[in-house]
């Protein structure tokens, strides 16, 4: 206990933050979904502050392109599972807390079970499907979500689904964005992101988690903080006090079939697959591996290009846009065989 008192002495010296507040942290259980640009700094500070149980959920592997912003990893970790590496590093940082890796992909089948043993969920997801799934599951389970998002030089932070005194709940993600067409919003691998922004927003998320657990300060409840890293200006937008959504069930997660880079290269030698590049013109001019070129937002307008007797493999830089293309094709042309290149051209170039 003496070591604990010394470790946490600076935060326990804060006005209104005493031994009782530290006890709340040590008894808290926080699930971080996404051990990436947001999850890494958030996890480091939550571990350092003494959150008793930290779950890290991520099924992805470390890649070279992650290293500029995902600060828990180093080059020797490339190819290893993020959740496994993150938990090992955080345990070294604070041996006195419990780290729980969750290395299965979060889906509509397992999300309720995964979040069940946690008090608060920190959303560090890098795709809309997981973000909406977490939001809806948290609403159904009555758990708060600390949300963060980054793109290029801008970030957002909010706290969703907190209880109000009258028994109602504060707004959730769907109050801000009822639906988003993922084909219209590029991810970081396409649009880019300044690495320091990930650290800033991830730390803001950790800050909201600590405030929520210790019941100190004013939470971003019913509000969204917008931050611009270029001007260092922020503003807070008020959404409302009570959610206007009525979430009754989870949307079923679609399975997206994939092929690995090794499998694709073997298949191309045997003329098994037809390639479809869903990246932008600029990206294709820089490098491509052949095939048709139909940008993601144009796939639906070019369904006549796809034939039932062929097997298509969609590709992009990371596998996210190609996954969206496969999902769309399965909906519109269920008879056409289509796969997404797992890990995208990043994996292709490593194999």
Pairing of strands 223-228, 154-160: antiparallel
Spatial strand order of the sheet with 145-151 comes to 98-102, 53-57, 29-33, 120-123, 145-151, 154-160, 223-228, 233-238
Helix, strand or coil, per DSSP, at residue 311: strand
Selecting among 40, 188, 203, 212, the annotated active-site residue is 188
Which structure tokens are listed for 325? 């293309």
Is 40 one of the annotated active-site residues of the chain?
Answer: no
Selecting among 40, 87, 212, 316, the annotated active-site residue is 316
Give phi and psi for 25, each to the nearest 5. Answer: -65, -45
Q: 10 Å Cβ neighbour count for 180?
A: 14
Is 316 one of the annotated active-site residues of the chain?
Answer: yes
CA–CA distance, 252 with 247 (Å, rounded to integer): 13
Q: How many helices (H) and strands (E) does the chain have?
A: 14, 13
Helix, strand or coil, per DSSP, at residue 197: helix
CA–CA distance, 156 with 154 (Å, rounded to integer): 7
Which structure tokens are listed for 272? 């098994």
Which structure tokens are listed for 282? 């600029």
CA–CA distance, 188 with 170 (Å, rounded to integer): 29
Active site residues: 188, 316
């Amino acid at each position: 206990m003496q070591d604990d008192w010394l470790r946490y002495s600076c935060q326990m010296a804060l006005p209104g933050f005493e031994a009782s507040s530290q006890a709340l942290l040590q008894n808290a259980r926080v699930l971080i979904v996404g051990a990436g640009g947001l999850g890494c700094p958030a996890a480091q500070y939550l571990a350092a502050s003494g959150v008793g149980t930290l779950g890290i959920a991520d099924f992805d592997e470390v890649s070279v392109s992650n290293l500029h912003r995902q600060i828990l990893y180093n080059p020797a970790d490339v190819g290893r599972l993020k959740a496994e590496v993150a938990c090992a590093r955080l345990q070294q940082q604070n041996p006195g807390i419990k780290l729980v890796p969750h290395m299965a992909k979060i889906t509509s089948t397992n999300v309720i079970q995964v979040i069940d043993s946690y008090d608060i969920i920190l959303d560090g997801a890098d795709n809309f499907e997981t973000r909406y799934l977490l939001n809806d599951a948290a609403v159904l389970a009555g758990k708060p979500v600390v949300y963060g998002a980054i793109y290029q030089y801008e970030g957002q932070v909010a706290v969703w689904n907190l209880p109000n005194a009258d028994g109602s709940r504060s707004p959730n993600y769907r109050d801000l964005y009822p639906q988003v067409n993922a084909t219209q919003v590029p991810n970081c691998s396409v649009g880019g992101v300044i690495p320091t922004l990930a650290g800033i927003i991830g730390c803001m998320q950790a800050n909201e988690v600590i405030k929520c657990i210790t019941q100190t300060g004013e939470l971003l409840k019913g509000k969204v903080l917008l931050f611009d890293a270029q001007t260092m200006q922020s503003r807070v937008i008020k959404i409302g006090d009570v959610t206007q959504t009525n979430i009754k069930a989870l949307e079923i997660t679609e399975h997206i079939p994939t092929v690995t880079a090794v499998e694709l290269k073997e298949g191309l030698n045997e003329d098994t697959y037809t390639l479809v590049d869903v990246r932008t013109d600029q990206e294709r001019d820089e490098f491509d591996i052949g095939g048709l070129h139909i940008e993601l937002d144009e796939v639906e307008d070019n369904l006549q290009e796809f034939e039932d007797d062929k097997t298509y493999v969609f590709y992009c830089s990371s596998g996210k846009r190609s996954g969206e293309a496969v999902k769309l094709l399965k909906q519109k042309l269920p008879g056409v065989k289509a796969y997404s290149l797992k890990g995208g051209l990043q994996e292709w170039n490593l194999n």
